[in-house]
Amino acid sequence: MGDAVNTIFINGTEYPFKPGQTVIQVAQENGIDIQHYCYHPGLSIAGNCRICMIEVEGNPQPQISCKLDCAPPPWIKEPLRVQTESEVAKQGREGTMEMLLVNHPLDCPICDQAGECHLQDYSYEVGQGQASTTTAKTKLPKNVPFGSKIVYDAERCIKCTLCVRFCEEITETNELSMQGRGDEEMVVMTSKGEFDTPYSMNIIDICPVGALTSRDFRFKSRLWFMDFANSIDTSSAKGVNIVTGGRNGTFLRIEPRYNASINDWWMADEGRVAYKYVNSPSRLETALVRDADGQFRVANWEDAISAAAEALRSNPGDILLDGGCTLEEMVLAKDLAGAMGKNAKFAAATGEGDGWLVTEEKGANAKGAELLEVARAKRAQAASVLVIEREEHVNASMREKSGAVVVFATDGEHVPESAEVVFPLPSWAEREGTLVNIDGLAQWMERNPAIGPNNLPVFVEILEDLIGELDDDYAWRGADGVRAEIAALPAFAKVALPWQTETPVGAGS
Amino acid sequence: MIPPTNSAPPVAVQFPPKELKKECEDILSRYPTRMAACLPILLLAQKHYDNWVSPEVEAGVAEYLGVSDSHIRGLLTFYAMYNAKPAGRHEVWVCRTLTCMLRGAGKLRDTALGCAKAKTTGEVGEDGKFLVKDMECLGLCEVAPAVFVDGEAHVDVTPEKLTELMEACD
């Protein structure tokens, strides 16, 4: 037997590999980018797009790197030597690219994928700019609905079969299949009926071109006008890593972000559309204080804070928090309640879970609340301060029964009758902070500046100001001071806090 | 408004029917996995059910072989010799690969379509008599152009000869 070869030379540098790894995997691990469409680290290897061509020294023809085992055949005792940028490799990719573009429509200006399209990127790198074919492009169906959330364009499709493999291997529902062959090949929904898996929209992300687009997002915005932030899905307690995308104050889309310990590359459709309320026309943008004649009038922050302190002094009571509040906000809410000699409670909905990325618990920070010893509120919880972002956590009857005088609300529709002072609450996408998911993993939620109304006050700062008004001895700590306190709590001794450790960076695409 | 995508899922037929049972088992015994036997079993099913594989038969075969409907659908549409749509009483295959095309298969295709009263290949003609299909290389290049009528090879075919052949079908 002897020693098996366990290294490979890529572009002249020697890299170790684990048995079973293919060249593209080792290259990606070491920061060497090889173009690919049909390869996805989370799915089986199909090897049908042919764009990942590399040169294997000693072979006259280029080979695909996604399916090429790093281990040489047993009779060769030398490590493989491959070149990703040599003339042979480049010619291979150029030829493949020309074939991929033979029937691809040139509709980038109206295509939603433009800006994040791999076909666009790679054709910029290895495209010829001039086709050697002169025949007309094949006409195929466009605007084909795949269920109610996805639209398929067979002309843009490059037949990488990623979506088909996703339905076979991840959801195991087999809704999609490849039909036909050659230039008339396309993805079709099989006779099973609706494309209704709750994870269906993941195929939009993995589609390397604009063949699969989201009915929700299409034609809303060009990518390069949008701002993105790494955030956490708050529609469920799993803590799915996401990227929020917004433009000019409008929340436009949510896409999953790789995290090996929670969601890999995927997310549920439920979380993807959980942003609609952020764009509500009845969003609060100013502080409101109730007049002597019972009408709300707009107030500046200082007046509103002193009015709120006044209302709380004459009306001390518990604080009812939305289950999506961050750790920092919960700590300060506890302190505010403490200044009144009361408690902070949180309310969060429960619903159906699927045992994977949708949990029964819907409060994104329910576990964090447990660690901070913030109790779950009763159905009819009397409170003097109400923090309400999501309708489902604190429903209308709970809001009215609370009798809260100071209300932090995202949407003006959610303000109960009893409110004396109302502060606008930025939505989760506009706040930053720490959330602890149901498995006890603390994660950092980034603020997206392109979402929500301008100039909203920072929630934690208003909370601190309120505590300061009620408690003369209060020393301002700031969010960083609060975080230091959280880190010192015994309940958090075993929790890796994201601002202490380096944020895990995904190796996926 | 989103149009309804598909009607109710098809009801799978009981597959294999009694008369095919032995043959199916015989085929299965020759392959390492059930999935590997997809192609011969599908051919068998097509022959048995009026020369085409309906969604119901497709579901039945999928169930029998333990693969998904979508896998079977992919095979049916990839391979030219399966019919996923109702077929005519007679089937005419015209080769469209290089040698035959150079020797006049294009004219044969037009002739066949004319006789079949069909607009395009792959569709049954108006009277339901003929189904004309384009075929990849039929393996008779040395005597091109080649045409198969109901599975029977005819070589060195001319449009006149093809018309004669098709008119002879009842």
B62 and B96 share one domain? no
Among A169, A185, A192, A197, the strongest candidate for a mutation testing the B interface, having the largest count of B CBs within 10 A, is A192
- Whether residue A490 is preceded by a cis peptide bond, meaning omega within 30 degrees of 0, is no
**Would you tell me the crossing angle of helices B38-48 and B69-78 to the nearest 10 degrees?**
80
Q: How many whole angstroms separate alpha carbon A97 and alpha carbon A188?
A: 24
Q: What is the pLDDT of residues B80-89, one digit of tens each?
A: 899 988 998 9
- B5, B59, B71 member nearest A177 (Cβ): B71
Distance of alpha carbon B102 from its chain centroid, rounded? Answer: 25
Percent of chain A surpassing pLDDT 90: 79
Residue B137: inside a domain, yes or no?
A: yes
Same domain, B117 and B73: no
Band of the pLDDT at A499, cuts 50, 70, 90? confident
For residue A357, give every residue at least 6 positions away whose Cβ sits within 8 Å of its Cβ, in sequence order, or none.
Answer: A199, A236, A238, A240, A262, A263, A266, A267, A268, A271
Give the mean pLDDT of A411-418.
92
Q: Does B1 touch chain A (CB under 8 A)?
A: no
Q: What is the mean pLDDT of chain A?
A: 91
Residues A465, A478: Cα–Cα separation, whole Å:
10
Which of B114, B24, B107 has its CA nearest to residue B64?
Answer: B24
Nearest Cα residue in chain B from A172:
B68
Condensed to tens digits (0 to 9), the pLDDT of residues A5-49 reads 889 999 999 999 999 999 999 999 999 999 999 999 999 999 999
Same domain for B63 and B95: no
Closest-CA distance, A186 to chain B, in angstroms, reads 10
Beta carbons of B73 and A148 less than 8 Å apart: no
Domain span holding position B31: 18-78
- From B78, B111, B146, give the residue that closes a domain: B78
DSSP-assigned states of every residue in A299-346: E-HHHHHHHHHHHHHHS---EEEETT--HHHHHHHHHHHHHTT--EEE
Nearest CB to B2; choose among A148, A179, A189:
A148
Locate all alpha helices (DSSP H) within chain B, ordered by sequence. Answer: 18-28, 38-48, 55-65, 69-78, 98-102, 105-116, 159-168
d(CA A376, CA A321): 9
Give backbone dihedrals phi and psi of A289, rounded to 5 degrees, phi first: -125, 140
Measured from the Cβ of residue A497, the count of other Cβ atoms closer than 10 Å reads 16
Give B97's contacts in chain A (Cβ within 8 Å). none
By CA distance, what is B58's nearest residue in A? A191
Residues in A lying within 8 Å of B, measured between beta carbons: 145-148, 164, 167-168, 174-181, 188-195, 215
pLDDT at residue A248 greater than cutoff 70: yes
Tokens read off for A101: 């573009």
d(CA A244, CA A446): 9
Instruction: Tell whether B69 is covered by a domain.
Output: yes
Does B4 fall in a domain?
Answer: no
Question: What is the distance between the alpha carbons of residues A231 and A256, in angstroms, rounded to a whole number?
Answer: 9
Which CATH number do you get for residue B162? 3.40.30.10
Task: Decide if B74 touches A, using CB distance below 8 A.
Answer: yes
Q: pTM here? A: 0.89
Chain A residue numbers with beta carbons less than 8 Å from the beta carbon of B59 are 191
3-state secondary structure A358-411: CCCECCCCHHHHHHCCCEECCCCCCCCEEEECCCCCCCHHHHHHHCCCEEEECE
A194 contact residues in B (CB cutoff 8 A): 5-6
A502 pLDDT above the threshold of 60: no
Q: Are A372 and A334 in contact (CB under 8 A)?
A: yes
Domain match, B98 and B152 both: yes
* Best CA proximity match to B55, nearest among B42, B35, B73: B73
A23: which 2 tokens? 């060249």
**Does B85 lie at the interface with A, CB-CB under 8 angstroms?**
no
Supply the pLDDT for residue A217: 93
List own/partner pairs for A479-484 with CB under 8 A and 24 or more apart.
A479/A328, A479/A433, A482/A328, A482/A331, A482/A332, A483/A328, A483/A434
CA distance B77 to B83: 8
ipTM of the complex: 0.82
Rounded to whole angstroms, the Cα distance separating A159 from A165 reads 11
Is residue A504 over pLDDT 50? Answer: no
Which residues of B are less than 8 Å from A190 in CB distance? 68-70, 73
In a domain, B164, yes or no: yes
Q: For residue B40, tell me if it sits in a domain.
A: yes
Alpha carbon distance A391, A409 (integer Å): 10
- Residue of chain A whose Cα is closest to the Cα of B80: A180
Q: Give strand ranges (E) for A65-160.
A: 81-83, 144-146, 150-152
Q: Are residues B96 and B65 in the same domain?
A: no
Q: Is the same domain home to B71 and B94?
A: no
With CB atoms and an 8 Å threshold, state whether B59 touches A176.
no
Q: Determine the residue among A191, A192, A194, A196 to mutate to test chain B binding: the one whose Cβ has the most chain B Cβ atoms within 10 Å.
A: A191
Whether B69 and A195 lie within 8 Å, measured CB to CB: no
Alpha-carbon gap, residue A132 to B155, rounded angstroms: 35
* Beta carbons of B10 and A168 less than 8 Å apart: no
Mean pLDDT of A150-162: 94
Q: Is the Cβ pair B71, A174 closer than 8 Å?
A: yes
Provide the pLDDT for residue A509.
35
Closest Cβ opposite residue B5 in set A145, A181, A215: A145
Q: Is the pLDDT of residue B4 over 60?
A: no
Token output for A154: 């067979």
Chain B residues in contact with A179 (beta carbon < 8 A): 73-74, 77-78
Closest CA to A104 of A70, A142, A151: A142
* pLDDT of B49 higher than 50: yes
Round to whole Å and give the CA distance between A346 and A327: 12
**Predicted local distance difference test score (pLDDT) of residue A508:** 36
Distance from CA of A191 to the nearest CA of B (A): 6
**Number of structural domains found in chain B:** 2
What the block records as the tokens of A7 is 């290294």
Cα A132 to Cα A239: distance, rounded to the nearest angstrom:
50
Which residue ranges form the domains of chain A, and what is each CATH number? 7-100 (3.10.20.740), 136-219 (3.30.70.20), 287-492 (3.40.50.740)
The reported pLDDT for the residue numbered A139 is 93
**Does some domain include residue B85?**
no
Given CA atoms B9, B14, B17, B23 in this order, what sign does their dihedral have? Answer: positive
**How far A146 CA lies from chain B's nearest CA (Å)?**
7
pLDDT digits (tens, 9 = 90+) for A429-480: 999 999 999 999 999 999 999 999 988 989 999 999 999 999 889 999 999 9
Are A146 and B5 an interchain contact pair (Cβ–Cβ within 8 Å)?
Answer: yes
Residue B69 forms contact with A (CB below 8 Å): yes
**Are B164 and B112 in the same domain?**
yes
Q: A187-201: per-residue pLDDT in tens?
A: 998 755 678 789 999
pLDDT digits (tens, 9 = 90+) for A350-372: 999 898 999 999 999 999 999 99
In a domain, B10, yes or no: no
Which two tokens mark A198? 């709750």
Instruction: Kindly tell me the burial class for residue A501, based on how many C-beta atoms sit within 10 Å of its own C-beta (0-12, 13-18, 19 or more).
Output: exposed
The answer to whether residue B95 sits within a structural domain is yes
Q: Give buried/exposed letters for B112-132 (b at 16+ CB in 10 A, else e).
A: bbebbebeebeebbeeebbbb
Report the residue from A174, A181, A194 with minimal CB separation from B70. Answer: A174
Q: Residue B166 in contact with residue B130, Cβ under 8 Å?
A: yes
CATH number of the CATH domain containing B30: 1.10.10
Closest approach of chain A CAs to the CA of B164, in angstroms?
Answer: 32
Query: For residue A425, which of A458, A392, A401, A465 has the smallest C-alpha distance?
Result: A458
Q: Is the same domain home to B70 and B96?
A: no
How many distinct helices (H) and strands (E) make up chain B? 7, 4
B58 to chain A: which residues are within 8 Å by CB? 191
Are A174 and B59 a contacting pair at CB < 8 A? Answer: no
Which residues make Cβ contacts (< 8 Å) with residue A117, sequence separation at least 6?
A: A108, A111, A208, A209, A210
Which of B55, B78, B101 is the C-terminal boundary of a domain? B78
**Pair B102, B63 in one domain:** no
Q: Give burial (CB, 10 Å; 0-12/13-18/19+) of A138.
A: middle
Question: Of A447, A436, A438, which is closest to residue A487 (Cα–Cα)?
Answer: A436
Are B71 and B115 in the same domain?
Answer: no
In a shared domain, residues B131 and B159 = yes
DSSP string, A242-265: EEEEEETBEEEEEEE--BTTTTBT
Q: Are A208 and A160 in contact (CB under 8 A)?
A: yes
Which site among B2, B5, B96 would you substitute to test the A interface, given the most A Cβ atoms closer than 10 Å to its Cβ? B5
Q: Two tokens at B143?
A: 């005597």
Side-chain half-sphere exposure of A202, counting CA atoms within 13 A: 28
**CB contact at 8 A, A312 and A466:** yes
What per-residue confidence (pLDDT) applies to A191? 58
- Band (A506; pLDDT cuts 50, 70, 90): very low
Residue of chain B whose alpha carbon sits nearest to that of A177: B70
Those residues whose C-beta lies under 8 Å from the C-beta of residue A111, and which sit 6 or more positions away, are A117, A156, A210
Which residues make Cβ contacts (< 8 Å) with residue A265, sequence separation at least 6?
A40, A41, A42, A202, A205, A206, A256, A258, A508, A509
One domain for residues B70 and B107: no
Residue B48 Cα, gap to closest chain A Cα (Å): 22
Distance from the Cα of A184 to chain B's closest Cα (Å) equals 10
The pLDDT of A130-140, averaged and rounded, is 89
